[in-house]
Amino acid sequence: MISLDTNVLVRAIAAESDADAATKLQTKRAQALLSSGRQLFVPITVIEELEWVLRGAYGMPPDEIAALFEDMLSVENLTVDRVGAVSQAIAWYRRGLDFSDALHLAQSGLCTGLATFDRQFSKVARRLDLKPTVSAPG
């Protein structure tokens, strides 16, 4: 099994019309690896970073990122780390929660709450009635 770094997935996913020769070669190699049928692994940290890069650097809208992640979860030779938490995070992301926050909360399922000073995170999680509860400490 081969573990994938974020940059390999970005090269395979993101279309860059003005790419230089080195980037085009990386894109070709990344796409070849993903379509090779070899067993591949995506760490949860790569999923989190991938969302950030696609949204921040490439301007991909959240609904497209969520659809891409859902597609990744269905690829037979691709194992996504903590798939249950990632799947839950995608669902909450689609409902308006920041992806990183959704992933943090999804991995906190055995806890009674998640402590944060992020007011927006608390507000959205409360509005969506998500569990565990999200609130400021104290």
The single-letter code of the amino acid at 75 is V
Q: What is the rounded average pLDDT of the residues 22-49?
A: 95
Asked if residue 115 is part of any domain, the answer here is no
Asked if residue 121 is part of any domain, the answer here is no
Tell whether the model's pLDDT for residue 15 goes beyond 90.
no
pLDDT in the model for residue 79: 97
Question: What are the pLDDT digits (tens) for 105-138?
Answer: 999 989 999 999 999 999 999 999 999 999 999 8
Asked if residue 120 is part of any domain, the answer here is no
Please count the residues of the chain.
Answer: 138
Domain count, the chain: 1
Asked if residue 104 is part of any domain, the answer here is no
Place 27 in a pLDDT band, splitting at 50, 70 and 90. very high
113-122, long-range: CB within 8 Å, 24+ apart, which pairs? 121/97
CB 16 within 8 A of CB 23: yes
What sign does the CA torsion over 52, 57, 96, 4 have?
A: negative
Asked if residue 45 is part of any domain, the answer here is yes
pLDDT in the model for residue 131: 93
Asked if residue 72 is part of any domain, the answer here is yes
Q: What is the rounded average pLDDT of the residues 69-90?
A: 96
Asked if residue 110 is part of any domain, the answer here is no
pLDDT in the model for residue 16: 80
Instruction: Quote the percentage of the chain above a pLDDT of 70.
Output: 100
Using H for helix, E for strand and C for coil, what is the string for 44-74? HHHHHHHHHHHHHCCCCCHHHHHHHHHHHHC
pLDDT in the model for residue 17: 78
> 52 lies in which domain range?
2-97
Q: Rounded distance, CA 130 to CA 7, Å? A: 32
Question: What are the pLDDT digits (tens) for 33-45?
Answer: 999 999 999 999 9
Asked if residue 14 is part of any domain, the answer here is yes
